[in-house]
Copies of this chain bind each other. A is one copy, B any other.
Amino acid sequence: MTRTLLRNVRPWGGAPADVLVDETGILEVAPAAEAAAPATDAPAGASDLEVVDGAGGILLPSFSDVHVHLDSTRMGLPFRPNTAGPSRMDRILNDRANWRSAEQPVAARATYTLERMIAQGATRVRSHAQVDADSGLEKFEGVLAAREAHRDRAHVEIVAFPQVGIHLEDGVPDLLDEALRNGADLVGGIDPCEIDRDPKRHLDTVFELAERHGVGIDVHLHEAGSLGLFSLDLIVERTRALGLAGRVSVSHAFALASTVPGVERALEDVAELDIALTTIAPKGSLTHPLDLPIGRLRDLGIRVGLGMDGQRDYWSPWGNGDMLERAFLLAYTQGYSNDDDIEDALAVATWGGANVIDGSLRRLGADGRPGVAVGDPAELVVVRGETPTSAVMDRFPERVVVHAGRVVAEGGELR
């Protein structure tokens, strides 16, 4: 089995160390330069040991982007002014009107964007793939192709995602079913009240598909305030009744950012049923609160991960594949200025998303603080920086990216 020795790296900004990894995880963390030299330490197949100079960089768990839309991206294509109106449906229809005329097909666009994400340090990705009457499975297949192209560089989960609802247009349940038979890992849902305007039927279909295929669920929930709490409660109810604790995620969950009555009770339900949350670090306002209470989620033991959402697409120009920048934006939008808080934002972008993807991981350090240690998965990134906080502030492009124990990207480019 190939092993990799990361020389002179500082796990979560700690003392310089030499870190030995293989496909199974981190095997050894030794003080830098004191690790046995490869020639004497490799009992068999020394030639299978790759030694990489970490140059004193900070070793972190790799970034996890747990909420991205690889099928909508225009990264790498000519910049296109935004022609969408302000509402969610305006943006859905703007994408529908324009995606087919993109300079490249979905597969090429998704593959390029996934490349840029990996090159900048993300090796765990959960991508939504839009399934609707207009695109059929074409977008889904594009995301499948991107996953296949990078199968040795990142772990990619795909959500069969009914962006335009399930019951507004014909054939969507069958398309979701087909996607789940053909490689989708989770079934998605969206705003059960606002899109289908039939929350019971929407969620019953989602949960029925999940049961039939034995897959997890990830529901986009933009609905605000008490309406969003109602939809969340319908999700909670079904999660509890079907024994799906730990298998359900809710994305955005803007209702939990509000101050309407019932938020605390909803947080307790989410914690009890181990429902994972994903955020894209949005910026809310007084009238449209969007920012999840990250510190409170941590205190309640609720799994929460970070994502890029669409990237430079027909919805908005934001997003560039760099999850370290999105961690910077999470810290900024949370108003953080002390080091522990900023490291918490970095933890959401790394361990947090890893925990969302693998609910059994539960890795945020024995003392509740994030870290990197023997036994951790060999999904790692080395970033330049003095401390984890300064690394978030500086976001230097120099990175070394490790997936399944092997270096897959260096200096911002794939190997």
Q: Are B337's CB and A283's CB within 8 A?
A: no
A285 to B332 alpha-carbon distance, docked (Å)? 12
Q: Are B332's CB and A318's CB within 8 A?
A: yes
A283 to chain B, nearest CB (A): 5
A79 to chain B, nearest CB (A): 4
DSSP class of A's interface residues: helix, strand, loop or mixed? loop
Q: Are B79's CB and A317's CB within 8 A?
A: no
A320 to B291 alpha-carbon distance, docked (Å)? 25
Which residue of chain B is the closest to A338 with respect to CB atoms? B82
A412 to chain B, nearest CB (A): 14
Given contacts A393-B318, A393-B320, contact A335 B78 (CB under 8 A): no
Interface residue tally on A, bucketed by range:
35 or more
A285 to B393 alpha-carbon distance, docked (Å)? 21
A84 at the interface (CB under 8 A from B): yes
Query: Which A residues from 376 to 398 make CB contacts under 8 A with B?
Result: 385-387, 389-390, 393-394
Q: Are A82's CB and B337's CB within 8 A?
A: yes
Q: Are A283's CB and B79's CB within 8 A?
A: no
User: Copies of this chain, how many?
Assistant: 2
8 Å CB contact of A286 from B289, B334, B393 = B289
For A333, the chain B residues whose CB sits under 8 A away are 283, 332-333
8 Å CB contact of A337 from B318, B329, B339, B386 = B318
Q: Are A389's CB and B81's CB within 8 A?
A: yes
Query: Footprint of B on A, CB under 8 Å?
Result: 78-79, 81-82, 84, 86, 257-259, 282-286, 288-289, 291, 312, 315-318, 320, 329, 332-335, 337-339, 342, 385-387, 389-390, 393-394
Given contacts A288-B335, A316-B337, A317-B342, 11 further A-B contacts (CB under 8 A): A79-B389, A81-B339, A82-B337, A283-B283, A283-B333, A283-B335, A286-B286, A286-B289, A320-B393, A332-B333, A333-B333
Kindly list the 7 A-B residue pairs having the minimum CB-CB distance in the complex, ordered from nearest: A316-B337, A79-B390, A79-B386, A81-B339, A82-B338, A283-B333, A283-B335
